[in-house]
Amino acid sequence: MNTTAIVFFLEAAIVSGTPLLFATLGEIITERAGNLNLGVEGMMLMGAVSGFYIGLISQNPGLALLAAMVAGAAGALIYAVLTVSLRANQVVTGLALTIFGGGFSGFMGQRLVGEVAPESIKLAFKPFVVPVLGQIPFVGKIFFQQDFFVYLSYLTAILVGLYLYKTRIGLNLRAVGENPAAADAASISVSLYKYAHILLGGALCGLGGAYLSLVYVPAWQENVTAGRGWIAVALVIFATWNPYKALIGAYLFGGLDIIGFRIQGIGFPVSQYMIDMLPYLVTILVLVVVSLKKSQENSPPKGLGIAYFREER
Amino acid sequence: MNLISMEGITKTFGRVVANKEIRFQVKHGEIHALLGENGAGKSTLVNMLSGIYTPDSGSIFIRGKAVKLTSPRAALHAGIGMIHQHFKLVEVMTAKENILLGQKSSFFIRDEQLTQKIKEFSHRFQLDVDPNKKVYDMSVGEKQTLEILKVLYRGANILILDEPTAVLTPQETQKLFQIMLKMKEEGCAVIFITHKMNEVLAISDRITVLRKGETVKTVNTGETTTQELAELMVGHPVNLAIKREEATPGKVLLEVKDLIVESEERVKALKGVSFSLAAGEILGVAGVAGSGQKELCEAIAGLYPVKSGEVFFKGENLVGLSPRQIITRGISMSFVPEDRLGMGLVASMDMVDNLILKEYQNQKGLLINRKPAAAKSKNIIQKLEISTPGIHHPIKELSGGNIQKVLLGRELDSNPDLLITAYPVRGLDINVSYKIYELINAEKKKGVAVLFIGEDLDVLLELCDRIMVLCGGEITGILAAKQATKEQLGLLMAGEKNGKREDTELA
């Protein structure tokens, strides 16, 4: 393979990793609040179908994105009410949300099958070259000749990182996820923080879904996420709940997702099925490596998965 | 005028009345001790002051004004800061970050400014805290100091300490008392919960005694005695001396040689521990929490992998045997962890099932026969005076003390030759504690070898025949209890091996 091919491959890996990145960032925010939301796949699907549908009837890219975020957040709201207010089991609720999201997108998408994203939206999300940065050899081509959505994902990752590590609210959020009783004693509203960040997380998952239906494909197809939500859940662990590492993880997995075409493209005989297994194999491998390497800093938020009730003894 | 005045406070949890018509008053600049047995309602009462619980009825006045303390935030606003028994600290964060939590300040964290302010505060109150140290790297004493600094930083001038000395060495306790006196000097009021009476008498100005959820009396510390306090707490005269059954040690039952164990992180938790224990002897183990006590118990019981060394019991090496095999050889272990539940019992199961946990293998047939265990449960309830709605009540709904009695009752029930008991009176009131000391003494008399891991040095000195001190996984000394002093033990606990070392190996 020559350099151009590699650059093309990396550029495509970024595109393919973008929906993963949004979903992973969303789940990182959610888990930082101490809630394990396994409904990522469901929320992505809800975002994908809502964004596509609104985009189709309004022809407005802004409205489409908004719809996707609202849909993802709406899914997260169901989860938040059940797990925060009613203290239901987070795993079960998350799984239920995935199934619900699948059904929702299937139902909404019945009439959309075969529809192609409208021209106005395709135009809005067309790749463009960032001045100066786009001119850098290799790097420019890979990172800065992308579409608006991709730039938005860079920005989101950096903002989430700044938010978590540099702001007071981010500090409070981490405390809520680590030790809600400590946060509560420090007069932080645990429920408010959980709700806000579960909803925000859901909105980001919705965006990730919308990228698939509006830009990546860009047409409606049943089950457009194809398991990417689950990879995002694994990526959170890969990234050790760190949004900057999520960037690396998302593009690595994005690359794995598309490597099949490329390898076959150069005439290397390998079964498509083997290649489809790759991201999941790497996920398992990552889980093994992460659990071997025990460190206080890289371990999951201690309050993850546990409902908080102040008067519990 | 009183700083705090609580009038007619009632709080119920389901059918349990935790506080009934409580009257409690605290004056400016005093150290006020809250004394009472387990389940007397001390923690419930202060939790209502700190906004964790809300009272069912009654009123709270602070500086003469009626207040509703509906949340920790509201309590803090009223100047009340609570140091909980289980620290409310985020382990992965630094001292500084923990102090900043929930504070109203700039959107971005201003590091320099904050560090400076914390340093000023620690200087003013003489609290020694490194702002950039992670909490998980801190000792228990440091964590507690940080907790105090945290609430003071938030502007608290009424400090509530819930059993603050339970986890400290004598030296650390002295340091804490210094801090409390400093608070008093600065005009803060300190409310402090404990059941260690010598501490109450040493530091407090006034004492309020609670019993069964009701206020018994408030007394001035200068005008009372240990004996009177104990009677007020229990409601009837009590004998406070722990009787040491005179030792006639028999054969050596347990012999531990160069025991080394490693944690999962490859840190040595025990670094070559050797000692022996004879039948009819109580060997006390003293040490700051986390000095290897837990690993020692678990290694003997077969729950913790042994790296090297031997554990001989009646001449047989136990290393490599399964916990079940070790139990059948007559070794019984009860460990009461800090949270009092984590080990040995299943919280959501009832007493009968918890008893069966340890003996179901001895039953024949496929189905479980609950009848013998039910009979035993009733027996244990009677013998140890456990208060529970019934043998089929989930044990997590019992009070901590009663849970511990269930655990110890079950272990004694198996008639062991070696009883390992760690913190059996952790958080228990005098009445129950003495009951448990009696039980342990009774075992000793029967010729059982007892390994007693304790926290209260006074108790260790009175109850045990010999005391072994652990520090950082090493034995820093084994002293004969009769000759040892608290100061000696304290120094050994802090790791000073030059405390008079006296290896009184019993043959």
At B214, the amino acid letter reads E
Residue B341: closest C-alpha in chain A: A313
Q: Tell me the pLDDT of chain B averaged across its residues.
A: 85
CA distance B102 to chain A (A): 5
pLDDT of residue B502: 42
pLDDT category, B497, cuts 50, 70, 90? low
- Could you tell me the CA-to-CA distances from B112 to A128, A250, B103, B109, B116 in Å, in that order? 42, 35, 16, 9, 6
**What is the helix (H) or strand (E) element at residue B104, kind and residue range?**
none
At B140, the amino acid letter reads V
**What number is the ipTM of this complex?**
0.85
The first and second tokens of residue A146, run together, are: 């992308």
Q: Does B347 touch chain A (CB under 8 A)?
A: no
Any bridge partners for residue B351, and if so which? Answer: none
The first and second tokens of residue A277, run together, are: 């297994």
At B246, the amino acid letter reads E
In degrees and rounded to multiples of 5, residue A152 shows phi and psi of -60, -40
Q: How many beta-carbon contacts under 8 Å exist across A and B? A: 81
At A32, the amino acid letter reads R
Q: Does A188 touch chain B (CB under 8 A)?
A: yes
Hey, how many other C-beta atoms are within 10 angstroms of the C-beta on B445?
13
| CA B103 and chain centroid, separation | 31
In degrees, to the nearest 5, what angle opens at C-alpha B406 toward C-alphas B372 and B226?
145
Angle between helices A228-238 and A190-211 (to 10 degrees): 130
Residues of B in contact with A184 (CB under 8 A): 72, 88
The overall longest dimension of chain B from CA atoms, in Å, is 71
**What is the helix (H) or strand (E) element at residue B73, kind and residue range?**
helix B72-77
C-beta pairs of B224-232 under 8 Å, 24+ apart in sequence? B226/B197, B226/B198, B226/B201, B229/B35, B229/B197, B229/B200, B229/B201, B230/B197, B230/B430, B232/B35
In degrees and rounded to multiples of 5, residue A291 shows phi and psi of -75, -20
pLDDT of residue B501: 42
Q: What is the pLDDT of residues A5-61, one digit of tens each?
A: 889 999 999 999 999 999 999 999 999 999 999 999 999 999 999 999 999 999 999
| B54-B57-B58-B61 Cα dihedral, nearest 10 degrees | 30
Q: Is the CA virtual torsion A48, A51, A55, A56 positive or negative?
A: positive
pLDDT of residue B134: 92
Q: What is the pLDDT of residues B251-305, one digit of tens each?
A: 899 999 999 998 777 788 899 999 999 999 999 999 887 788 888 988 998 888 8
pLDDT of residue A92: 96
Instruction: Classify residue A220 as left (phi > 0), alpha (psi -120 to 50) or beta.
Output: beta
Check residues A266 and B214 and name the one with the higher pLDDT.
B214
In degrees and rounded to multiples of 5, residue A181 shows phi and psi of -65, -40
Instruction: Please check whether residue B345 is in contact with residue B407, taking contact to mean a CB–CB distance below 8 angstroms.
Output: yes
Q: Nearest by CB to A182, which of B13, B89, B106?
A: B89
Instruction: Please check whether residue A27 is in contact with residue A97, taking contact to mean a CB–CB distance below 8 angstroms.
Output: no
pLDDT category, A294, cuts 50, 70, 90? low
Strand order in the sheet with B466-471: B331-335, B418-422, B449-453, B282-286, B466-471, B474-480
Least reliable range by pLDDT among B122-126, B416-420, B427-431: B427-431
Please name which of B505, B39, B81, B101 lies closest in space to residue B233, comparing C-alpha atoms.
B39
**Would you call A294 and B136 a contact, using CB atoms and an 8 Å cutoff?**
no
Angle between helices A228-238 and A243-265 (to 10 degrees): 130
In this predicted structure, the answer to whether residue B174 has a pLDDT above a threshold of 80 is: yes
Residue B396: closest C-alpha in chain A: A313
Q: Is B241 helix (H, G, I), strand (E, B) or coil?
A: coil
What integer is the mean pLDDT of A192-200?
97
In this predicted structure, the answer to whether residue A66 has a pLDDT above a threshold of 90 is: yes
pTM of the prediction? 0.79
- Could you tell me the CA-to-CA distances from B499 to B174, B286, B489 in Å, in that order? 19, 14, 8
In which residue are the tokens 């990552």 written? A286
- Burial class of residue A288 in the structure, from the number of CB atoms within 10 Å of its CB (0-12 exposed, 13-18 middle, 19+ buried): exposed
In degrees, to the nearest 5, what angle opens at C-alpha A97 toward C-alphas A94 and A100?
160
CA distance A53 to chain B (A): 38
Q: Tell me the pLDDT of chain A averaged across its residues.
A: 91
Interface test with A, best of B46, B53, B101, B103 (most A CBs within 10 A): B101
Query: 196-235 in B: which are within 8 Å (CB) of A?
Result: none
In this predicted structure, the answer to whether residue B353 has a pLDDT above a threshold of 80 is: yes
At B48, the amino acid letter reads M
Q: Is B200 helix (H, G, I), strand (E, B) or coil?
A: helix
In this predicted structure, the answer to whether residue B245 has a pLDDT above a threshold of 90 is: no
Interface test with B, best of A166, A179, A309 (most B CBs within 10 A): A179
What integer is the mean pLDDT of B320-349?
78
Please name which of B64, B138, B145 lies closest in space to residue B99, comparing C-alpha atoms.
B145
Q: Does B119 touch chain A (CB under 8 A)?
A: no
pLDDT of residue B499: 44
**Would you call A187 and B84 a contact, using CB atoms and an 8 Å cutoff?**
no
What integer is the mean pLDDT of A249-256?
92
| A72-A73-A79-A80 Cα dihedral, nearest 10 degrees | 160
DSSP-based helix, strand, coil % in chain B, nearest 5:
35, 25, 40
Secondary structure (DSSP) of B130-162: -TTSBGGGS-HHHHHHHHHHHHHHTT--EEEEE
Distance CA B468, CA B420 (A): 14
Instruction: Please check whether residue B454 is in contact with residue B433, taking contact to mean a CB–CB distance below 8 angstroms.
Output: no
The overall longest dimension of chain A from CA atoms, in Å, is 64
In this predicted structure, the answer to whether residue A168 has a pLDDT above a threshold of 70 is: yes
Q: What is the pLDDT of residues A115-138, one digit of tens each?
A: 999 999 999 999 999 998 989 988
Residues of A in contact with B106 (CB under 8 A): 168
| Pairing mode of beta strands B418-422, B268-278 | unpaired
Q: What is the pLDDT of residues B368-401, one digit of tens each?
A: 888 888 998 998 888 888 877 888 888 877 777 7
**Would you call B53 and A311 a contact, using CB atoms and an 8 Å cutoff?**
yes
Q: Is the CA virtual torsion B106, B108, B113, B118 positive or negative?
A: positive
| Pairing mode of beta strands B57-62, B4-13 | antiparallel
CA distance A35 to chain B (A): 17
Residues of A in contact with B53 (CB under 8 A): 311
| CA B89 and chain centroid, separation | 18
What integer is the mean pLDDT of B104-117?
81
In this predicted structure, the answer to whether residue A139 has a pLDDT above a threshold of 50 is: yes
Residue A171: closest C-alpha in chain B: B101
**Would you call A175 and B102 a contact, using CB atoms and an 8 Å cutoff?**
yes
Q: Is B56 helix (H, G, I), strand (E, B) or coil?
A: coil
Q: Nearest by CB to A185, which of B13, B72, B265?
A: B72
Q: Does B91 touch chain A (CB under 8 A)?
A: yes
In which residue are the tokens 């050899």 written? A137
Residue B100: closest C-alpha in chain A: A168
**Would you call A182 and B101 a contact, using CB atoms and an 8 Å cutoff?**
yes
Least reliable range by pLDDT among B33-37, B65-69, B400-404: B400-404
Residue A186: closest C-alpha in chain B: B102
Residue B97: closest C-alpha in chain A: A171
Q: Is B435 helix (H, G, I), strand (E, B) or coil?
A: helix
Domain ranges in chain A are 18-228
CA distance B92 to chain A (A): 7
Distance CA B45, CA B41 (A): 6
Interface test with B, best of A168, A193, A309 (most B CBs within 10 A): A168
The first and second tokens of residue B33, run together, are: 């001790």
Which domains, from first to last, does chain B contain? Answer: 4-234 (3.40.50.300), 241-330+449-507 (3.40.50.300)
Q: Is A143 helix (H, G, I), strand (E, B) or coil?
A: helix
Hey, how many other C-beta atoms are within 10 angstroms of the C-beta on A139?
13
pLDDT of residue B341: 62
The first and second tokens of residue B332, run together, are: 């019984």
Interface test with A, best of B88, B151, B154, B403 (most A CBs within 10 A): B88
In this predicted structure, the answer to whether residue A214 has a pLDDT above a threshold of 50 is: yes
Q: Nearest by CB to B97, which of A171, A296, A299?
A: A171
Distance CA B152, CA B145 (A): 11
Residue B51: closest C-alpha in chain A: A185
Strand order in the sheet with B16-26: B16-26, B4-13, B57-62, B65-67
**Would you call B101 and A311 a contact, using CB atoms and an 8 Å cutoff?**
no
Residue B111: closest C-alpha in chain A: A166
Q: Nearest by CB to B73, which of A187, A302, A313?
A: A187
In this predicted structure, the answer to whether residue B367 has a pLDDT above a threshold of 90 is: no
Residues of A in contact with B264 (CB under 8 A): 294
Q: Nearest by CB to B92, which of A166, A181, A296?
A: A296
Interface test with A, best of B69, B77, B92, B150 (most A CBs within 10 A): B92
Distance CA A68, CA A63 (A): 9
Reported as half-sphere exposure (CB side, CA atoms, 13 A), residue B240 has a value of 15
**Would you call B53 and A297 a contact, using CB atoms and an 8 Å cutoff?**
no
Q: Does B110 touch chain A (CB under 8 A)?
A: no
Q: Does B392 touch chain A (CB under 8 A)?
A: no
Residues of A in contact with B100 (CB under 8 A): 168, 171
What integer is the mean pLDDT of A181-186?
88
Please name which of B207, B215, B190, B210 lies closest in space to residue B33, comparing C-alpha atoms.
B207
Instruction: Please check whether residue A54 is in contact with residue A196, taking contact to mean a CB–CB distance below 8 angstroms.
Output: no
pLDDT of residue A173: 96
Please name which of B331, B295, B334 lies closest in space to residue B314, comparing C-alpha atoms.
B331
Residue A182: closest C-alpha in chain B: B88
In this predicted structure, the answer to whether residue B470 has a pLDDT above a threshold of 80 is: yes
Q: Does A182 touch chain B (CB under 8 A)?
A: yes
| CA A70 and chain centroid, separation | 15
Q: Nearest by CB to A182, which of B52, B88, B103?
A: B88
CA distance B273 to chain A (A): 27
Residues of B in contact with A308 (CB under 8 A): none
Reported as half-sphere exposure (CB side, CA atoms, 13 A), residue B455 has a value of 23
Q: Does B101 touch chain A (CB under 8 A)?
A: yes
Q: Does B76 touch chain A (CB under 8 A)?
A: yes
**Would you call B91 and A175 a contact, using CB atoms and an 8 Å cutoff?**
no
pLDDT of residue B505: 37
Distance CA B229, CA B60 (A): 26
- Burial class of residue A10 in the structure, from the number of CB atoms within 10 Å of its CB (0-12 exposed, 13-18 middle, 19+ buried): middle
Residues of A in contact with B82 (CB under 8 A): 185
Instruction: Please check whether residue A197 is in contact with residue A160, taking contact to mean a CB–CB distance below 8 angstroms.
Output: no
Interface test with A, best of B48, B54, B88, B90 (most A CBs within 10 A): B90
CA distance A310 to chain B (A): 7
The first and second tokens of residue A155, run together, are: 């920005």
In this predicted structure, the answer to whether residue B99 has a pLDDT above a threshold of 80 is: yes
